[in-house]
Structures are given as structure tokens and as C-alpha cells.
Structure 1
Amino acid sequence: MTITALDSSIALVIIDLQNAIVGAPTVPYSGSEVVARAVELTRAFREHRAPVVLVRVTARADGSDAAPGRNESPSRPSSPAQGWDAIVDDLAGHPDDITVTKRTWGAFYGTDLDLQLRRRGVTQIVLAGLTTSIGVESTARAAYEHGYHVTLATDAMADLDVEAHRNSIERIFPLLGETGRSAEIVDLLARTRN
């Protein structure tokens, strides 16, 4: 797990660090640990004047905007708590950040994420967030398919299942990009400024 380079036109994309999801029991890091590392990354990207994208998932209470198709998962509760889909306070509220709202696992499908990145000339994205094997992996796959260089901050993500997390980190992510720790990314970003 080594990151060799960061492009000069880079963006940070943070997946689903929102009220309801951050509170879920995740492994190998807690939601609060993931948020803390995401805060460090956002601080570094903002200092670098690189785009920060905060992605959140939402859905209508009646499920009318859910992805079609059958699956074996239980349906969502019909009355989610007020504010369940709001970005956590530690990350929200910066005027230059881009907020993307999705209704499926990945942040590209049905959103303007690709347009927002291409408008800014972004060639590489750094991904972090929850959960590793669902929102982060789906977004990483789509970013790779869209031609972005993909970097994954492996200590700034977690999953509901340790084996799912491990599979993404060890088997899937190395096929899509480079992986490393948040501190390594922050350090490389600081060096590209000098």
C-alpha cells in the first residue's frame, strides 16, 4: 500500500459521512475515527485549494425513488429520523465544498459528480467514507471507469463487516488505483504545494 503520486488537479470525495451512517457499528474503525481522518483530509485539501466533495445518500420515505430491482435485503424503515441524511457537523458548512446527493450506492450514477469534477479539470480523486464495500467501492469502480486516477484513504473508511472491508482493501482497490493512509496523502499533498 503505497501512493506513488498525486496529480496537480485532484479532488477529495467523501462518501456518506452523514448522521445515520456514522452512528452505525463499523469495523475496523468507528464512524467517529473515520470522521476525524476525513476532517484531516478536508483541511489539507482546502489549504491546497483543491475541491472537496461531500456525498450524501437520501431517499424518499415511501421508497418511490429507490433503485428498481429485486433483492433479498429488508426494506428501509418507512419513517427515517429527521436529519438522518445530513452531513455530519464536523464536515458540513464550508462554503467552497461541493455537495452531491445520491440515491444509490455509487456517487456517479444519477448525480452531477462527473460534471462537477470535469468542470474543475480534476484528473484524480481521493476517496474516503462509509461504507468501504458499498458506497466507497461503488464510487471507486465508477471513477476508474470514468478515467480518473483513484486513490483510496484506507484508514478513512470502514464497513459493517470486517471481511467485506478486507476484500475491498486487499482485492478490489488495488485493481482500481492506489491505496494508502490519510497521513501519507496529506504529506504528499503538502509536498506538491512546495
Structure 2
Amino acid sequence: MTQALSLNARTTALVMIDLQHGIVGRQIAPYSGAQVVAKAKPLADALRAKGGTVVWVHVLLNELLALPADAPGRTPDTPPAPAEASELVPEIGAQAGDVIIAKRQWGAFYGTNLEQQLRRRGIDTIVIGGIATNFGVESTARAAFDLGFKLVFVEDATSGLNEEMHHFSFNKLFPHMGHVRSTQETIAAFA
């Protein structure tokens, strides 16, 4: 049985990963990019209304770390992405007071000022979602966990490259790192 969750909005940040033109339109599962965006906006609006912090993370696709791998995301002959591909989609409803973080690798902490932005605001809890579950979201969550942030994973505001990978993280890994909740349950927990 899932325990009741209460989140102090003033010490909570919503961190949404890679809701940008070059990623939202990709083939992902179990939710489409449009479905993830449709969940992200009310999460952001609800937390912002209660005095919480909203963080939008996007990856600079043409600067993304590319190391030798058996299944690389980019190869030397991959054409550069158009500039718009790295821009956040307008449907998320980003506001002037939101924090925007540009990253150059999977995780949102390394090589960015995300931790500093959160610590300066007194944030101790991160509500996390976005695309893709096993890459940007999981990498960011692991770093957050190592840094001592409490975590809430929003299952229906997150999607992966495929359904099996997504469910593995949500069923086998994330419950050991924090709380797994739906968008509706998370919004209800903001106090």
C-alpha cells in the first residue's frame, strides 16, 4: 500500500527533463511526448501556484557528449540538429520565474548550475519527470539521490525509449530511491 505523501511546495522543485522540439516528437513509450507535456504543464502550474520552484532542463543536442559505444546515439556522420531541436516546446507553459538549465550530457547536474540553483532556493525535494526515463531522467535522479535530495518520480509524466525499459525503472529502481506517484497524486501532495 502506498503511503500518503505531503510535499512542502516551498522546498520542492519540479525538474522536467528534455521537453524540447527534438525529443518530444520521437517515438517513445508508454506515453507519447504530447502526453508527457500535457502532464508536465499542470504539475508546473500547481507547484508554482503554491510557491514552489519549476525547472525545465533541455539538452543542447549538437553539443551532447558522444563517446565510443556499441549503440551510440550519434555517430560522426550524424547531421547537426536544427537549433530549434534544442529549444523547449511552448506547450509546457514556461514562465519568467522558472529556472532553465541547458545540459550537454544525459544528467542535469554535471556541468550545470542546477545544484546551486536548488540549494540557493532551499530545495530539499525534487519531483522529476520527462523524456527519456532511462537516460536523462534516471541519470539526473541518480545524481540527485547521491546529493541527498528527496525524490518523487511522476510515472505518467515520464516516458522512455520503450515500455519495457520505462517499467523496469519505475518498478525495480525508482521505488528504492524515492516515491513513485501519478501526476494527480503528486499535485494533491503539494502543500
- TM-score, normalising length: structure 2: 0.92
Distance 1:140 1:165, change over 3 A: same
Q: Secondary structure at the match of 2:56?
A: strand
Q: Secondary structure at the match of 1:5?
A: coil
Instruction: Report sequence identity in percent.
Output: 37
CA contact (8 A) 2:20 2:58 kept: yes
RMSD: 1.5
CA contact (8 A) 2:61 2:85 kept: no
CA contact (8 A) 2:12 2:53 kept: yes
Structure 1 equivalent of residue 70 of structure 2: 72
User: What stretches of structure 2 of length at least 5 have no aligned partner?
Assistant: none
Moved more, 22-31 or 5-14: 5-14
Deviations 1:116-170 (A, max 9, x none): 0000000000001001111111111111000000000001001111111011101
Alignment of 1:152-171 (within 5 A): 152-171=153-172
Structure 1 residue 99 displacement after superposition: 0.2
Structure 2 equivalent of residue 106 of structure 1: 107
CA contact (8 A) 2:15 2:57 kept: yes
Query: Does residue 178 of structure 1 match 2:179?
Result: yes
Deviations 1:171-190 (A, max 9, x none): 1101111100010111111x
Structure 1 residue 97 displacement after superposition: 0.4
Distance 1:146 1:43, change over 3 A: same
User: What stretches of structure 1 of length at least 5 have no aligned partner?
Assistant: none
CA contact (8 A) 1:11 1:126 kept: yes
**Structure number with higher helix proportion:** 2
CA contact (8 A) 2:59 2:104 kept: yes
- TM-score, normalising length: structure 1: 0.90
CA contact (8 A) 1:3 1:179 kept: no
